Structure 1
């Protein structure tokens, strides 16, 4: 998962609708990993 540096999380500075979508995508990315997660 990219863009996880301090202050640049996927939901930084987004509208409420985009915030909800970004959080869902972030959660899906974390929970769907099979072996490992690389956060950059």
Structure 2
């Protein structure tokens, strides 16, 4: 029972981290492009 819950939690956390990572990468590219000009 707890194993399924734990797995779900870890998966959700992983998804969130992935979204955050993509957001940060996008922001970084925008800043980099801004300073390149």
**TM-score normalised by L of structure 2:** 0.50
**Larger Rg: 1 or 2?**
2
Runs of 4 or more consecutive aligned structure 1 residues displaced over 6 Å after TM superposition = none
Between the two structures, name the one with larger relative contact order (CA 8 Å, sep ≥ 6). 1
RMSD: 0.7
Q: Which runs of 5+ in 1 are unaligned?
A: 1-14, 36-40
Distance, in Å, in 1 between the alignment partners of 2:17 and 2:31 is 21
Q: CA shift at 1:16, angstroms?
A: 0.4
Which 5+ residue runs of structure 2 have no aligned equivalent?
1-14
